[in-house]
Amino acid sequence: MEFEFSKKADSFQAGIFAILNEKKEEMVKAGKKVYNLSVGTPDFKPAPHIMEAVSEAAKDPENYKYALTDRPFLLEAVQNFYKRRFGVSIEPEEIMTINGSQEGMAHIAWALCNPGDVVLTPNPGYPIFSIGPSLCGADVRTYPLYRENGFLPKLSDIPEETAKAAKYMLVSYPLNPVCATANDAFYEELIAFAKKYNIIILHDNAYSDIIYGGREGKSFLSYEGAKEVGVEFYSLSKSYNLTGARISFVIGNQKIVDKFRSVRTQFDYGVFLPIQYGAAAALNGPQDAVLAQCEEYERRNQAFCGGLRSIGWDVPDSEGTMFVWAPVPKGHGTSEEFCMELMEKTGLIGVPGSSFGSLGEGFMRFALVEPVPVMQEIVKAIAESGLLKRKGE
């Protein structure tokens, strides 16, 4: 029997992570040493008080029913956390849980877009930023991010015709994969730009708690006028190591949150209640582990990037996120070619930058998911492979 699938479904090819995992399995079976820095899954454990809150809530059979709504205790926890952490006052009606920011980024497009509407997304950028609106039939137009400009967009370079037509613009700092941060002046300019052209801003704030060099991780909503023009996605996945729990929040403009909520009720019965209890425990509880974890990520960042520079690979330290954005050394072909060569010669698995957009070509992304001694071991393996020396000569 022959099946005809949707054009949208047929447009997706095997993801790079699946391809890399297949290659990894081949190497493991062959007995080769593998260092997997491709997927951004934290290697830290959730804090005990978070796991205890989930476990206790899971003992109550009432908590296995449809949640339907976000519980008041969780909304209050978000309010108090945003006030303490970012100095931002928010109302319960301006908050909604989502089953992870990835899901939220995809589904909010259903609330905002009609087919053909123009949406602005970063290049390079995380794939779901563009995939979400694409699934809605939107006209996705990317804005370029260049290393020479600190991977910040030049808003003045966006054609006025495009700006006037744009329904929403997706922005994220610290930005995965390029590991860059944005300063106050950028956000002030962004909000003015949004007001001028009546563009909704969606800000992905997954990494404000993983930021280096004495920088301050802020909220988009902490800037004057932000709530007038958009919403922010705040995730507990990376800050609290809850990736599998799938718990994030969309926070900000009430009209946007309300419309998203009305769409969501058509396909979603709410976040599993034990996870809501765990999220509240994370937000209300001590934050020492979050700070200590950030410090450890920074040590890994310095060990890996500094180590690579010491052997002739000019990789800058990340400004934020749990990743490293490394230029492909000269003479090593495309990012995909270098990715495979690096894997075969050293056992190190990263992600080719081309997976994040055309302007990601020429870069590799690595996740800081191994402790410092292993990062040092990886640097040694690259040095001993002769890969950099041979190609550079």
In whole angstroms, give the CA distance from residue 367 to residue 384.
22
Quick one: pLDDT band at residue 388, thresholds 50, 70, 90?
Answer: confident
Is the bond into 124 cis (omega within 30 degrees of 0)? yes
> 13-42+288-388, what's its fold?
Aspartate Aminotransferase, domain 1 (3.90.1150)
The letter for the amino acid at 337 is E
Q: pTM score > 0.85 for this model? A: yes
Task: Give yes or no for a contact between 274 and 246, defined as CB atoms under 8 angstroms apart.
Answer: no
Task: Give yes or no for a contact between 256 and 39, defined as CB atoms under 8 angstroms apart.
Answer: no
304's tokens: 């890996």
| Stretch 121-130: mean pLDDT | 96
Task: Give yes or no for a contact between 97 and 264, defined as CB atoms under 8 angstroms apart.
Answer: no
pLDDT reported for residue 4:
87
Q: Which residues contact 87 (CB under 8 A, 6 or more apart)?
A: 222
Quick one: pLDDT band at residue 391, thresholds 50, 70, 90?
Answer: very low
In whole angstroms, give the CA distance from residue 326 to residue 347.
17
The pLDDT > 70 percentage for the chain reads 97
Tens digits of per-residue pLDDT, 187-231?
999 999 999 999 999 999 999 999 999 999 999 999 999 999 999
| Domain ranges (residues) in the chain | 13-42+288-388, 49-284
Q: In this predicted model, which residue has the larger pLDDT, 25 or 49?
A: 49
The letter for the amino acid at 347 is G
Tens digits of per-residue pLDDT, 325-361?
999 999 999 999 999 999 999 999 999 999 999 999 9
Count of beta carbons in the 10 Å neighbourhood of residue 212: 21
**Cα 252 to the center of its chain, rounded Å:** 19
Give, in degrees to the nearest 5, the angle at Cα 67 between 62 and 70.
125
Quick one: pLDDT band at residue 29, thresholds 50, 70, 90?
Answer: confident
Tell the residue number behind the tokens 């932000």, with chain if given: 226
Q: Which residues contact 383 (CB under 8 A, 6 or more apart)?
A: 311
In whole angstroms, give the CA distance from residue 190 to residue 12.
32
Q: What is the CATH number of domain 49-284?
A: 3.40.640.10
Tens digits of per-residue pLDDT, 77-125?
999 999 999 999 999 999 999 999 999 999 999 999 999 999 999 999 9
CA distances from 128 to 104, 231, 260, 377 (A): 10, 17, 17, 33
Within this chain, domains 13-42+288-388 and 49-284 share the same CATH topology: no
The per-residue DSSP string of 50-101 comes to HHHHHHHHHT-GGGGS---S--HHHHHHHHHHHHHHH-----GGGEEEES-H
